[in-house]
Amino acid sequence: MALKILIVDDSPAMRAFVRRVMRLSGIEVEQYMEAGNGVEALAALESSGVDVVLTDINMPVMDGEDFVRRLRGSDRMQAMPIIVISTDATTHRIQTLLSLGANGYLQKPFGPEQLRNEVERILGVNHA
């Protein structure tokens, strides 16, 4: 099954890196959507659903914590799988995001294998 992925990060370079690593992971992607912050991501999701959201935390306008909180508060999007990608691996931060409703947490640095494992884990599928 090819996936529709939303990448939320204020850095165009990081969004390009995630697309590249996704390609290297072997996961088949039907469509990438991109957003530079939580507000843009919510707007994008209003018009089109996705299979997985990959989101940064530290972003302007609306950060990752607020974005996850809003998604989980939405009737239509509350079950959407979310993986947080962050350099911050403190217990405080991870527990906060998971308690808000994130399904997975991927710490930078990461490579294709870690990304693939996390996507497959939260979707409960194998894309080999």
Q: Which spans of this chain sit near another protein (rule: CB under 8 A)?
A: 11-14, 16-17, 20, 58, 86-90, 92-93, 107-111
d(CA 69, CA 29): 26
- Residue 112: asked if its preceding bond is cis (omega within 30°), the reply is no
- Output 51 or 118, the one with its CB closest to another protein: 118
- Output 63 or 120, the one with its CB closest to another protein: 63
- Output 51 or 56, the one with its CB closest to another protein: 56
d(CA 80, CA 40): 16
- Output 14 or 77, the one with its CB closest to another protein: 14
**Least distance in Å: CB of 119 to another protein?**
17
Q: Is 91 exposed, middle or buried (0-12, 13-18, 19+ CB in 10 A)?
A: exposed
Closest CA to 22 of 10, 34, 38, 39: 34
